[in-house]
Structure 1
Amino acid sequence: MSPRSRTRRLSAGLAVVALAFAGVGTAAAHAAPVSPFAQAAAEPGILMNYVVNTKPVPIHVDRTEQAIEAAGGTVVKSYGDLGVVIAQSTSPTFRADVRLGKNGNSVQSVGATRTAAVSEGPVGAAAKPAAAKGLKANESVPALDPREGEQWDMAQIKADKAHEQSDGSSRVLVGINDSGVDDTHPDLAPNFDAGNSVNCVDNGVADTTPGGWRPTTSDHGTHVAGTVASARNGVGIVGVAPGVRIASVKVVNDDGYIYPEYAICGFVWAAEHKMDVTNHSYFIDPWEFWCKDDADQGAVQEAVRRAVAFATSKGSLAVAAAGNSSYDLANKTTDSASPNDGTPATRPINNDCLDIPTELPGVVTVASTTRAGVRSNFSNYGLNKIDVAAPGSSILSTIPGGGYGLKSGTSMASPHVAGVAALIKSNRPWLKPAEIEKALRVDADDQACPAVVDARCTGTTANNSFFGEGLVDALDGVKRW
């Protein structure tokens, strides 16, 4: 993936250039979000995907599937435990027809998952050739003679000291929900779990074809994977938790988009395959912020919330990047980058508009720090929005083809926290997701606001808008237990 700097896809992580939002302040924080795209009818014949929400009860799920078919739609995937059905239709009146037709009273909400036509075509169709889109210039800088001593980030979070006590356990499985992982990389192959890997980018339908979960146009997921669990094998670098297993959950398509159906597929897969921790270095497209009072966006926000809650209930802790727009998540005013699969237009938003999945309940939100220990200038922030912080500027990690590269972004910060969570789970396997999250927060080293007054940094040394409850601490994560 190429984590977007927020103007481009993978939110979580890349660009070192932060985007400033004009007019961000508290005055407009509660402005009602009015989307010029709300409920825009699809053009006749345009293939669109939708989430259709119902009660997580078999009879209601069945009736909802029937309502979809009666409205001329196709059921792509049904998640009975969530009460979420992914549907496909070319009808411009599908939203209304599915609610007003037979069995429509079982439908709670319905919303399009994107504003552009479905690029992968009808469900079950042959995959289209990969788009000729690569990474942005300078996103990845090959490192010469990489070695563990170059990993200042590991020292900053005391992972090097933690490794004297524990490298983590192979019982623990971490899902890399990203653009794919190169399992042939010598630093990743020893810890890679192919049997639990999957490709979710064909309309959100899980594809277990061997190798389908590998990267095609992006090195982002491989870089993230290396930070979590590069093996201690005398080759290259060492991850935060070099003894745990990793699986690739591919949720980023060849154009760099992470649509809701992909992300939902990934969360459910993680739940069903007993993943202890999952890392999400992205925001879900095409909206940087999904607003409740827009019918499409509200339905999607609810569907993804259910998927996260389901995964959490099955023992999977989600860790996510805060984003790279240098935006105050606690005081939202405008969104100028959405929809990124169409023509973006500035719109007023408020705090009911969420960056998902990072702002959903049960997700650990991670901000980024520099080598000097200060907030990375691109990192999103927000009082009681950021849980913890971790290194995210110029991080050395693995890239496809057996190489190594430097990347910057909250995408790079998040996997450090996922790795520490895996160490905690390794040492206390009975802990539930909420308990691991609590340990991450309690063990984090307090970070004060900058000595030079920065009005954006609010709160206390123990919990502020830049660092949350502090810099994640791998050593405390293993010592306490």
Structure 2
Amino acid sequence: MIGKKMARSLLILLTFALILSSFSMGVFANGSKGNLDITPLETAELFGEHDLKSSDLTTVIVELKAASIVEAKNKGQKQSKANLKKEREQVIGALKGSAAKVKREYDHVFSGFAVELPANQIPQLLSTPGVKAVYPNVTYTVDAFDPQEIDAEAFSPAMMDSAPFIGSDLAWDAGFTGKGVTVAIIDTGVDYTHPDLVHAFGDYKGWDFVDNDNDPQEGPGQYHGTHVAGTVAANGGIKGVAPEANLLAYRVLGPNGGTTADVVAGIELAVQDGADIMNLSLGNTLNNPDWATSIALDWAMAEGVVAVTSNGNSGPNNWTVGSPGTSRDAISVGATQLPYNVFTSIISTTEGLDYPSAKVMGFPNEEELLALNDGEYEFVYVGLGAVADFEGKDLTGKIALISRGEFAFVDKATNAKNAGAVGAIIYNNVAGEHADVPGMAVPTIKTTLADGQKLLAELEAGNNTVSFNIEFDKAVGETMAGFSSRGPVTHTWMIKPDVSAPGVNIVSTFPGETYAALQGTSMSAPHVAGAAALILHANPSWGPDEVKAALMNTAEDMIDPATGKVYAHNSQGAGSIRVLDAINATTLVVPGSYSFGKFVKVDDVQVEKQSFTIKNLSNERKRYSFKVEFAGNPKGIKVMTSNSLNVPANKTQQVNFNVQVDTSKLEPGYYEATIKVSDGSTTIDVPSILFVGEPDYPRVTGAFMGKEADGSYYVGSYLPGGAEVIEYDIYVLGPGNTIGGFVDTIGSFENVPSPIHEFSWDGTVQNGINLPNGDWVLGVYVEKAGVTEYKAYLVTKN
């Protein structure tokens, strides 16, 4: 076995990660002697792995059997806060005399509490009457990166071009601005004093779960929540997607991230505070839908609150979506890059003199930019381009030569236009290149300081004319961002993301009355939250399912420039959102995407029943036809349903169909389909997938090692689907970060559940030798459902 693994390891691309974790687990077995009567004890379900022998403190989330207020309401049951308090106290009371300390209590969208206790008391908790499940208190971080603060000089309102791109301005023109709709920002807090955000906050601003007070102001050194809030509802220097929406802020992430306990508390309070929509631009890397956060989001949706969450930034491979983007009901959002045209630019004065740094900086429209190619222009130096700098100078039909400095580029261009100029050249006042600024008042070319000095020298020499050669280079359409996480979700096999929205170089509000550009699915989610606010303003009777379906049913497919084909469903979801189309939808297909699941019978026919609903929102009867198209038209898959269905005006009907898969005619793998629903004039595409055989999700997605207080070590891995066999090997770290010689197998286990496995290691290897401190390679071998996988990670023993 060891020899095979060493040979196999030579073919492995070594992936390095040092992942710290607060989870631990123990492996224990029950045995018996003689003929004893044994009665199995009823225990709650335990998620994650925990060292059940350790006395170290750990925090877990306890779910009670008693339904939450919202769950009971949706099931037609009676429930009250007083009864839930009693249920919690009974369970908590069973832990009296221990070191257990309750951290949070929940009753609205999640029934239970967060508790800190010694890990070896978890078994007692599992066997306590009234406990349904115990979840780990995982860490959440923001799904954003690469913040670039924009100084006042470079700022232009036109930088916020992503809101108009998804059709927000068209919705505004139609009278829908998000007025009267409340959006909860569950994040790092919000700088509610920012001039662009003041209008959106009332006296009650939300809650800070990090500092436990009623001031959810963005934490010191943090900026994420303010940026997210601006994308939703800024109304000042820039306009967010829903500029007249109301905002509430819930600070659940501190400088080092946050935990399940606080995220669930934020969701619960947002629902109780009357939010119509909530945005969670946060996540972790665990691809699993069964977590306390997902449960809370699903019941929030059931209560009528539209929950929007980022899909994660671990793309572009499949299976990289993380919680809470894995939620069954919440709207998960992927990130796109906006389309753009690329132009080249050459400026010429005296023959033989060139300006290699010349680039297009910004322009009001492409027609005015390309018009600069028509002829030769006189150019005039106007210093910094202030209003006073133009006094006494004739700029009519000419080009303004301007120096960077003192105030915003956009104001310099505006002053040039007001003086009659048809264009501008702005040169840098320091070495290097300065920023592009979309939406300048006149077509503007930028150059370096060196090329600007050449132009000044030309004027001094009496050469005061300039010509341009500006050419279209290429068009790049809206594309999926490479970092955007992809689905599907393990266990449910659902398509994620649900939809996509702009998430690259998004300009929004920044603490301290400034602006910044950020990237990430964190930036995409608030576009959808803002879009949901516009939809609810236009259709106040709609619930979360209608909002979600409208966004998905009207989304536009995007083309992958690398292949020339439409992106896979697990990359783009239903596509890129278009707000006005969603507002005006006359038919809704719910749900907006479908997973037919797994077909695992070997060389046999398997049939699964499925259904969806059609909502005819129009005032006339409609006849709908259905067609299911599988990519590549594979033999062995057959979908049986009625050819058409009549749905009366303003009515909803269910469509039933059977999916038959003959696995003897199909290779194992992933099959993608589109359900086309047509009313004769409009066709709605519903993304669908199915799997033949066990899906190809990664068997292991990460590993970790850390030192306990008692000197032992916790070692473990992340297993989305669990493992039938898992082994941990130590290797020497070879030259150039390669796998060196085999040392020992330090752990071997069978039938390990998902999604986290961990065990305690005493730090010794063969013959009880203590492994020296330093860098080593940890190899993880996994077998699951006939698939084996071996990955290696750099770890440090100290």
TM-score norm. by structure 2 comes to: 0.45
* CA gap 1:22/1:64 in 2 versus in 1, 3 angstroms: farther
Deviations 1:122-163, CA, capped at 9 Å, x for gaps: xxxxxxxxxxxx999952232445333222212321222222
Deviations 1:45-102, CA, capped at 9 Å, x for gaps: x54321112212536433222223354412222223422211122x2312123234xx
- Cα pair 2:267 2:296 within 8 Å, conserved: yes
- Cα pair 2:271 2:300 within 8 Å, conserved: yes
Size of the aligned set, in residue pairs, is: 382
- Cα pair 1:65 1:85 within 8 Å, conserved: no
- Cα pair 1:274 1:315 within 8 Å, conserved: no
Confirm whether residue 171 of structure 1 aligns to residue 276 of structure 2: no
User: Secondary structure of the residue that 1:236 maps to in structure 2?
Assistant: coil
Aligned partner of 1:249: which letter?
Y
- Cα pair 1:386 1:465 within 8 Å, conserved: yes
Where do 1:31-430 residues align within 5 Å? 38-41=49-52, 44=55, 46-56=56-66, 58=83, 60-69=87-96, 71-81=98-108, 82-89=110-117, 91-100=118-127, 104-114=128-138, 138-143=146-151, 144-201=153-210, 207-209=212-214, 211-231=215-235, 235-255=236-256, 257-284=257-284, 288-289=285-286, 301-329=290-318, 331=319, 355-372=322-339, 373-382=478-487, 384-430=495-541
* From 571, 581, 584, the counterpart of 1:476: 581
* CA gap 1:39/1:279 in 2 versus in 1, 3 angstroms: same
* CA gap 1:475/1:172 in 2 versus in 1, 3 angstroms: same
Structure 1 gaps of 5+ residues are 1-20, 25-33, 116-133, 293-300, 333-353, 459-463
* CA gap 1:151/1:137 in 2 versus in 1, 3 angstroms: closer
* CA gap 1:138/1:388 in 2 versus in 1, 3 angstroms: closer
Query: For 1:156 and 1:215, how far apart are their aligned partners in 2?
Result: 31
Structure 2 gaps of 5+ residues are 1-11, 16-23, 27-47, 68-82, 340-477, 489-494, 587-798
Mean alpha-carbon deviation: is it higher for 145-154 or for 269-278? 145-154
Deviations 1:393-431, CA, capped at 9 Å, x for gaps: 001100000000111111111111110001001111111
Aligned partner of 2:93: which letter?
Q
Give, in angstroms, the shift of residue 314 of structure 1.
Answer: 2.2
- Cα pair 2:208 2:250 within 8 Å, conserved: yes
- Cα pair 1:146 1:237 within 8 Å, conserved: no
User: Secondary structure of the residue that 2:119 maps to in structure 1?
Assistant: coil
Aligned partner of 2:175: which letter?
S
Higher relative contact order (Cα pairs below 8 Å, separated by 6+ residues):
1
Query: For 1:212 and 1:451, how far apart are their aligned partners in 2?
Result: 42
Deviations 1:294-337, CA, capped at 9 Å, x for gaps: xxxxxxx44223311332222111111111111445x46xxxxx
Query: For 1:135 and 1:469, how far apart are their aligned partners in 2?
Result: 21
- Cα pair 1:214 1:248 within 8 Å, conserved: no
- Cα pair 2:277 2:533 within 8 Å, conserved: yes
User: Secondary structure of the residue that 1:429 maps to in structure 2?
Assistant: coil
- Cα pair 1:95 1:111 within 8 Å, conserved: no
* From 424, 443, 449, the counterpart of 2:554: 443
Give, in angstroms, the shift of residue 466 of structure 1.
Answer: 2.3
Query: For 1:263 and 1:177, how far apart are their aligned partners in 2?
Result: 8
Query: For 1:246 and 1:80, how far apart are their aligned partners in 2?
Result: 24
* CA gap 1:23/1:109 in 2 versus in 1, 3 angstroms: farther
Aligned partner of 1:40: which letter?
D
User: Secondary structure of the residue that 1:155 maps to in structure 2?
Assistant: helix
- Cα pair 1:197 1:208 within 8 Å, conserved: no
User: Secondary structure of the residue that 2:204 maps to in structure 1?
Assistant: helix
Give, in angstroms, the shift of residue 449 of structure 1.
Answer: 3.6
Mean alpha-carbon deviation: is it higher for 76-85 or for 465-474? 76-85
* CA gap 1:475/1:80 in 2 versus in 1, 3 angstroms: closer
Give, in angstroms, the shift of residue 377 of structure 1.
Answer: 1.3
Give, in angstroms, the shift of residue 269 of structure 1.
Answer: 0.8
Query: For 2:578 and 2:14, how far apart are their aligned partners in 1?
Result: 36
Aligned partner of 2:324: which letter?
P
User: Secondary structure of the residue that 1:110 maps to in structure 2?
Assistant: strand
Aligned to 1:335: none
Deviations 1:249-288, CA, capped at 9 Å, x for gaps: 1110122x1210111001101110111111111104xxx1
Aligned to 1:453: 563
* CA gap 1:465/1:456 in 2 versus in 1, 3 angstroms: farther
- Cα pair 1:187 1:398 within 8 Å, conserved: yes
Query: For 1:478 and 1:180, how far apart are their aligned partners in 2?
Result: 30
Query: For 1:388 and 1:281, how far apart are their aligned partners in 2?
Result: 15
* CA gap 1:192/1:390 in 2 versus in 1, 3 angstroms: same
- Cα pair 1:167 1:243 within 8 Å, conserved: no
Mean alpha-carbon deviation: is it higher for 186-195 or for 264-273? 186-195
Aligned partner of 2:111: which letter?
G
Indicate the RMSD between aligned Cα atoms, in angstroms.
3.1
Confirm whether residue 466 of structure 1 aligns to residue 550 of structure 2: no
TM-score norm. by structure 1 comes to: 0.72
User: Secondary structure of the residue that 1:367 maps to in structure 2?
Assistant: strand
Give, in angstroms, the shift of residue 184 of structure 1.
Answer: 0.5
- Cα pair 2:190 2:216 within 8 Å, conserved: no
* CA gap 1:23/1:371 in 2 versus in 1, 3 angstroms: farther
Give, in angstroms, the shift of residue 23 of structure 1.
Answer: 9.7
Query: For 1:456 and 1:93, how far apart are their aligned partners in 2?
Result: 52
Give, in angstroms, the shift of residue 196 of structure 1.
Answer: 4.5
- Cα pair 1:215 1:221 within 8 Å, conserved: no
Q: Percent identity?
A: 26
* CA gap 1:416/1:135 in 2 versus in 1, 3 angstroms: closer
Query: For 1:135 and 1:302, how far apart are their aligned partners in 2?
Result: 19
Aligned partner of 1:227: which letter?
T
Query: For 1:137 and 1:434, how far apart are their aligned partners in 2?
Result: 31
Query: For 2:510 and 2:149, how far apart are their aligned partners in 1?
Result: 10
Aligned partner of 1:289: which letter?
L
* CA gap 1:254/1:244 in 2 versus in 1, 3 angstroms: same
| Structure possessing the higher radius of gyration over alpha carbons | 2
Give, in angstroms, the shift of residue 382 of structure 1.
Answer: 3.1
Give, in angstroms, the shift of residue 456 of structure 1.
Answer: 10
User: Secondary structure of the residue that 2:570 maps to in structure 1?
Assistant: coil
* CA gap 1:465/1:159 in 2 versus in 1, 3 angstroms: same
Aligned partner of 2:113: which letter?
V
